[in-house]
Amino acid sequence: MTVPTVQLNDGNSIPQLGFGVFLVDPPETERIVTDALEVGYRHIDTAAIYKNEQGVGAAIAKSGIARDELFITTKLWNDDQGTQSAFDAIDRSLEKLGLEYVDLYLIHWPVPSKDRYVEAWKALEQIKESGKARSIGVSNFMVPHLERLAAETDTVPAIDQIELHPYHQQPPVTAYAQEHGIQIEAWGPLGQGKYPLLELPEITSIAEATGKSPAQVVLRWHLQRGFVVFPKSNSRERMAQNFDVFDFELSQEQVASIDALERAGRVGGDPNEG
Ligand code: NAD
């Protein structure tokens, strides 16, 4: 199965489906990422704060998969928003991952109260220049944060990774991103299991009609809306299920019925705080 790729505003491309490792236990990470690579995933989303970059790196090294077939993302943690601290942070992440570069480096949260994300973004511009990250982007940036980067820096982020699932579709940011060529990545694509998304009649009826599982229906909705997704699961069976979403299509009506579930239902942290 070849996962479709999406072209970014810097000319690089990213596999539209990947595997996320938030809350994957560090000691279990090597095994779980090895399973994901065996299932066929080639795009892995980690972060310094997940404390499992080492396990991701060990699985990559063991896999023998060529570096240019992989797409690896990691993120700059909030405490490291600064020029030298960002340079040190990427070096630590690369060492743990056992890599010479990451495909994508993101500022994890804007943390507006600290007011250092513009400085951090300028550091990421230099990190891209150095070749340690092929693409750079942000995460949890809302429209005012993106507008400040546009006003005060030279580079438009390639990516904004935000909480996005049927109850929380983030219309203002997704519209801004589309207008400015920023690719949206949807974190928590299955709502992190924090509300009974997979039991909603709007989802289960489409699952019955298409012969796919509710999770596959929701992931298919993300893909058809143009988002990049990387669902997380420790179970190999679910990893395989989540990867098997390219042999069916939702109708326009089915997509619209999931669009209609929007209710500003955030399940994670508020990017305007902190
Ligand atoms: P998710 O929406 O992927 O949900 C994961 C939950 O769904 C798990 O409990 C899992 O058991 C369950 N699940 C997975 N596949 C299933 C299936 N087929 N059927 C039924 N249940 C299934 O939530 P997530 O892990 O938080 O988000 C995905 C990735 O996004 C993370 O792993 C991480 O890489 C990234 N993320 C980024 C941020 C950020 O601030 N940038 C925040 C959270 C997550």
Give the tens place of pLDDT for each residue, 52-89: 999 999 999 999 999 999 999 999 999 999 999 999 99
Return d(Cα 181, Cα 82) in angstroms, integer: 26
Q: Assess whether pLDDT exceeds 90 at residue 2.
A: no
pLDDT at 4: 98
Give the rounded percent of residues in the chain with a pLDDT score beyond 90: 99
Across the range 266-273, mean pLDDT stands at 95
Q: Is 101 a catalytic residue?
A: no
Return d(Cα 43, Cα 60) in angstroms, integer: 11
Helix (H, G, I), strand (E, B) or coil at 9: coil
* Cβ of residue 110 lying under 6 Å from some atom of ligand 1: no
Determine the residue of 75, 104, 187 to mutate for testing ligand 1's pocket, defined as the one with the most ligand atoms within 8 A of the Cβ atom. 187
Give the rounded percent of residues in the chain with a pLDDT score beyond 70: 100
Domain 11-259: CATH superfamily, name plus number: NADP-dependent oxidoreductase domain (3.20.20.100)
Across the range 241-258, mean pLDDT stands at 98
Cα 122 to averaged position of ligand 1 atoms, centre (Å): 30
Question: Which ligand 1 atom sits closest to the C-alpha of 234?
Answer: 11
User: Angle formed by the axes of helices 236-243 and 214-225, to 10°?
Assistant: 40
Q: Which residue CA neighbors atom 36 of ligand 1 most closely? A: 187
197 burial level (CB within 10 Å; 0-12, 13-18, 19+): buried
Across the range 193-220, mean pLDDT stands at 98
Q: Which residue CA neighbors atom 14 of ligand 1 most closely? A: 233
Look at strands 228-229 and 13-15 and give their pairing.
unpaired
Q: Nearest-CA neighbor of 91 among 61, 126, 67, 65?
A: 126
pLDDT at 18: 98
Q: Assess whether pLDDT exceeds 90 at residue 274.
A: no
Domain boundaries, the chain: 11-259
Phi-psi region of 44 (alpha: psi -120 to 50; beta: other; left: phi over 0): beta
Across the range 139-147, mean pLDDT stands at 98
- Give 109's pLDDT tier (boundaries 50, 70, 90): very high
Question: Which ligand 1 atom sits closest to the C-alpha of 189?
Answer: 2
Q: Which residue CA neighbors atom 27 of ligand 1 most closely? A: 188
Across the range 37-46, mean pLDDT stands at 98
Is the separation of the CB atoms in 95 and 126 below 8 Å? no
Q: Which residue CA neighbors atom 5 of ligand 1 most closely? A: 192
Across the range 37-41, mean pLDDT stands at 98
Return d(Cα 167, Cα 173) in angstroms, integer: 15
Q: Assess whether pLDDT exceeds 80 at residue 1.
A: no
pLDDT at 54: 98
Across the range 13-21, mean pLDDT stands at 98
* Cβ of residue 157 lying under 6 Å from some atom of ligand 1: no
Side chain identity at 122, as an amino acid letter? K
Cα 154 to averaged position of ligand 1 atoms, centre (Å): 33
Q: Assess whether pLDDT exceeds 80 at residue 227.
A: yes
Cα 187 to averaged position of ligand 1 atoms, centre (Å): 7
pLDDT at 212: 98
Give the model confidence (pLDDT) of 169-191 as tens digits.
999 999 999 999 999 999 999 99
Name the DSSP class of 113.
T
pLDDT at 216: 98
pLDDT at 196: 97
Assessment of whether the complete model's pTM goes beyond 0.95: yes
Task: Tell me the pLDDT of the chain averaged across its residues.
Answer: 98
Cβ density class 163-185: b for 16+ within 10 Å, e for less:
bbbbbbbbeebbebbeeeebbbb
Cα 20 to averaged position of ligand 1 atoms, centre (Å): 7
